[in-house]
């Protein structure tokens, strides 16, 4: 990193890292598969070509260990390795990755056991070979990774959150999940805390210059009200555990900076501002909402019309769920709307202040045309898995000769399916609801998981179809032995669903992506990247909503507004360039949604807030 001589940075390329890992092991893995099943060279090559499920997480961890090991050696290259992980749900998955290595080892061991039995029977004894060593290595590597994550001497976890109720509730859930997995979080950093007003002396005995404003005061009170209960001794509502974890959890805060720090100098300054943090005293509620005023722009009315499926996506903390909820309420004034969340961290309930579940339900105080559903993707996946395992067992029950290795391998292939299969199966069902005739909904609005994850979710149908088709191709070879049966039918159905989902996503008259972002450098850069990736996937972008624009009137607030204007202008320029490349397909609407303290909550406040959105291009 230029300007920081002791710092090196790397973006992990998961597919290259995986290839580096696989290359020396490919032949042995093929040998094990050939020994353990009826698969031939061609089948095995096909399976090994599949992008292996969850492998980026595992490889990520292996790469981190590789770098950490380099620390201990005599030619230690680094003394510290800092890992920036993906958002919450994804991080929890990363930490579960070592278990996947164990499962892979288990599948391989099952396959190899058939070979061991045959060799022992023929020769009267069995000697461990290279294939056995590979299996043992995988097992060991998984255990070492798991141990490393829990070893507090080797590393520690810092959790970063925002002083807002939803972020704090998510943090509380995540910390509880990590704690249950035996992983201790040592540090909690609360980012973007509104600073205390600067103390400025009045000049020559006159009145002190204005250094604070209504906006900043409201923000401080809102943050204090969000944080006090999260750290209270008694549990949060809905059984969420308190964040007060005694002296082991170091609490730090970074103040909200007018301009997002970018570059070595700005980041160094920001690091210097990280301070030990005290939980604020409980503050009285705000008398009324404070909304930032947007100037010189026109009302954003029907920028969402024309598509029957709107997928809202954006990075965590940008207010994606709030925007999706407000848009759905607005659409429901004259259309029948279904608002669906597939994000494992459901937050529609928090936004509307009501509980939702798998059955579509009306919003308290909302229009009768709007139904809300929170899909439980994990439960959906569990049902699919059950059907799959039953079908495998049924197929193999018909085989007279022992095919234990194959049966076990087929059974376990479901556990090796690409991660995100649960959300894709759930979302494929949503896509099917669109094709129903007569359709129960005019528009479906989905609140997808955060950016990286949403992209992956959209890429997964293709991966998953490769996986399904590889299974089916292999199954065809077994046709003589096991018959097509339920298993084939199940796989054909899944493949069809995925093809349907891909077709709907690629049709701009049906599906459009709405990106929610913030007027800051990193989110804006990510938005550009997201648009490019979506286009590569053939998915149309309908609009970019820049959320939480504006602030108050004090010097700090004016500096915030200036920095935001610069970023929005940069976003506009980037989108114009993209539009030129994009050609006749049409324009992206850029929408500004004003910042509000506290953020809009409940149907009435959301509807009111929606009327103040402005279209700026
Ligand atoms: Zn202010």
What are the pLDDT digits (tens) for 117-130?
Answer: 888 888 888 888 88
pLDDT exceeds 50 at position 339 = yes
Query: What DSSP designation does 318 have?
Result: S
What are the pLDDT digits (tens) for 63-116?
Answer: 777 776 666 566 677 778 888 876 655 566 667 677 777 877 887 887 788 788
Residue 496, Cβ neighbours under 10 Å: how many? Answer: 13
Calculate mean pLDDT across residues 407-425: 69
Whole-model pTM: value is 0.82
pLDDT exceeds 60 at position 400 = no
For every residue of 107-165, which 3-state class applies, written as one string? HHHHHHHHHHHHHHHHHCCCCCCHHHHHHHHHHHHHHHHHHHHHCCCCCCEEEEECCCH
Nearest of 322, 317, 350 to residue 167 by alpha carbon: 317
C-alpha 523/C-alpha 317 separation (Å) is 10
Residue 165: predicted pLDDT: 82
**Enclosing H/E stretch for 374:** strand 370-374
Residue 501: pLDDT band with limits 50, 70, 90: confident
Three-state SS at 18: helix
* The two three-digit tokens of residue 601, written as one number: 């909550």
Residue 57: pLDDT band with limits 50, 70, 90: low
What residues act catalytically?
A: 343
C-alpha 541/C-alpha 587 separation (Å) is 9
Q: What residues does 372 pair with on adjacent strands?
A: 339, 361
DSSP secondary structure of 507-518: -TTTEEEEEEEE
Residue 477: predicted pLDDT: 65
pLDDT exceeds 50 at position 469 = yes
Q: Give me the percent of the chain exceeding a pLDDT of 70.
A: 80
Query: What DSSP designation does 202 have?
Result: P
What are the pLDDT digits (tens) for 260-310?
Answer: 898 999 999 999 999 998 878 778 888 888 999 887 667 777 788 888 999
C-alpha 465/C-alpha 443 separation (Å) is 27
CA of 13 relative to ligand 1 center, distance in Å = 42
Range with lowest mean pLDDT among 190-199, 291-300, 557-566, 576-585: 576-585
What are the pLDDT digits (tens) for 160-179?
Answer: 999 988 788 888 888 888 88
Calculate mean pLDDT across residues 488-509: 82
Mean pLDDT across the chain: 81
CA of 558 relative to ligand 1 center, distance in Å = 7
* The two three-digit tokens of residue 418, written as one number: 């690409």
CA of 557 relative to ligand 1 center, distance in Å = 4
C-alpha 411/C-alpha 487 separation (Å) is 11
CA of 218 relative to ligand 1 center, distance in Å = 9
Residue 482: pLDDT band with limits 50, 70, 90: low
Residue 583: pLDDT band with limits 50, 70, 90: very low
What are the pLDDT digits (tens) for 347-392?
Answer: 788 889 898 988 999 999 999 999 999 888 778 888 888 888 888 7
pLDDT exceeds 90 at position 247 = no
Residue 240: predicted pLDDT: 60
Helix axes 88-123, 451-482, angle to 10 degrees: 30
**Enclosing H/E stretch for 341:** strand 337-341
CA of 118 relative to ligand 1 center, distance in Å = 77
pLDDT exceeds 90 at position 471 = no
Residue 396: predicted pLDDT: 72
Calculate mean pLDDT across residues 549-553: 93
CA of 292 relative to ligand 1 center, distance in Å = 11
Residue 20 C-alpha from the chain's centroid: 26
Range with lowest mean pLDDT among 187-201, 255-269, 467-481: 467-481
């Amino acid at each position: 990193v230029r300007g920081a001589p002791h710092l090196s940075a790397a973006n992990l390329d998961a597919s290259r890292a995986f290839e580096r890992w696989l290359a020396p092991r490919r032949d042995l893995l093929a040998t094990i598969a050939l020994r353990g099943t009826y698969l031939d060279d061609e089948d095995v090559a096909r399976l090994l070509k599949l992008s292996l499920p969850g492998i980026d997480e595992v490889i990520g961890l292996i790469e981190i260990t590789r770098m950490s090991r380099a620390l201990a050696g005599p030619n230690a290259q680094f003394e510290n390795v800092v890992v920036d992980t993906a958002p919450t749900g994804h991080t929890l998955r990363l930490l579960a990755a070592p278990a996947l290595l164990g499962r892979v080892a288990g599948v391989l061991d099952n396959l190899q056991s058939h070979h061991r039995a045959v060799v022992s029977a023929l020769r009267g004894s069995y000697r461990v070979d290279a294939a056995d060593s590979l299996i043992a290595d995988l097992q060991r590597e998984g255990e070492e990774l798991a141990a490393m994550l829990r070893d507090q001497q080797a590393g520690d976890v810092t959790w970063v959150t925002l002083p807002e109720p939803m972020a704090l509730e998510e943090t509380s859930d995540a910390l509880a999940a990590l704690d249950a997995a035996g992983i201790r979080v040592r540090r909690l950093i609360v980012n973007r805390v509104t600073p205390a007003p600067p103390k400025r002396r009045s000049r020559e005995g006159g009145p002190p210059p204005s250094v604070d404003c209504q906006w900043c005061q409201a923000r401080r009170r809102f943050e204090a009200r969000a944080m006090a209960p999260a750290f209270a001794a008694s549990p949060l509502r809905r059984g969420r555990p308190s964040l007060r974890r005694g002296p082991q959890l170091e609490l730090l805060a970074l103040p909200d900076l007018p301009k997002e720090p970018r570059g070595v100098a700005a980041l160094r300054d920001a690091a210097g501002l990280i301070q030990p943090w005290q939980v604020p005293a409980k503050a009285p509620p705000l008398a009324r909402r404070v909304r930032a005023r947007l100037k010189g722009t026109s009302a954003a009315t029907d920028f969402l019309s024309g598509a029957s499926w709107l997928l809202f996506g954006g990075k965590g903390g940008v207010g994606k769920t709030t925007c999706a909820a407000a848009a759905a309420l607005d659409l429901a004034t004259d259309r029948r709307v279904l608002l669906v969340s597939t994000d494992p961290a459901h937050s529609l309930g928090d936004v509307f202040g009501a509980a939702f579940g798998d059955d579509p339900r009306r919003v308290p105080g909302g229009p009768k045309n709007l139904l809300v559903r929170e899909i439980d993707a994990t439960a959906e996946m569990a049902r699919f898995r059950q059907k799959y395992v039953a079908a495998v067992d049924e197929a193999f029950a018909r085989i007279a000769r022992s095919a234990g290795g194959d049966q076990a391998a087929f059974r376990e292939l479901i556990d090796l399916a690409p991660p995100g299969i649960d959300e894709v199966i759930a979302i494929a069902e949503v896509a099917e609801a669109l094709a129903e005739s007569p359709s129960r909904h005019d528009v479906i609005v989905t609140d997808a998981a955060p950016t990286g994850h949403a992209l992956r979710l959209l890429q997964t149908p293709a991966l998953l179809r490769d996986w399904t088709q590889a299974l089916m191709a292999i199954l065809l070879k077994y046709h003589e032995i096991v018959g097509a049966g339920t298993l084939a039918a199940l796989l054909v159905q899944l493949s069809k669903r995925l093809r349907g989902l891909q077709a709907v996503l690629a049709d701009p008259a049906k599906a459009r992506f709405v990106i929610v972002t913030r007027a800051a450098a990193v989110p804006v850069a990510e938005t550009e990247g997201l648009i490019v990736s979506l286009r590569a996937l053939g998915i149309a972008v309908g609009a970019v909503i820049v959320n939480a624009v504006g602030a108050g009137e004090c010097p700090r607030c004016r500096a915030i507004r200036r920095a935001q204007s610069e970023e929005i202008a940069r976003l506009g320029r980037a989108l114009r360039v993209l539009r030129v490349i994009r050609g006749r397909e049409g324009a992206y609407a850029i929408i500004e949604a004003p910042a509000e303290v506290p953020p809009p909550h409940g149907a009435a406040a959301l509807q009111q807030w929606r009327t103040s959105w402005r279209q700026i291009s």
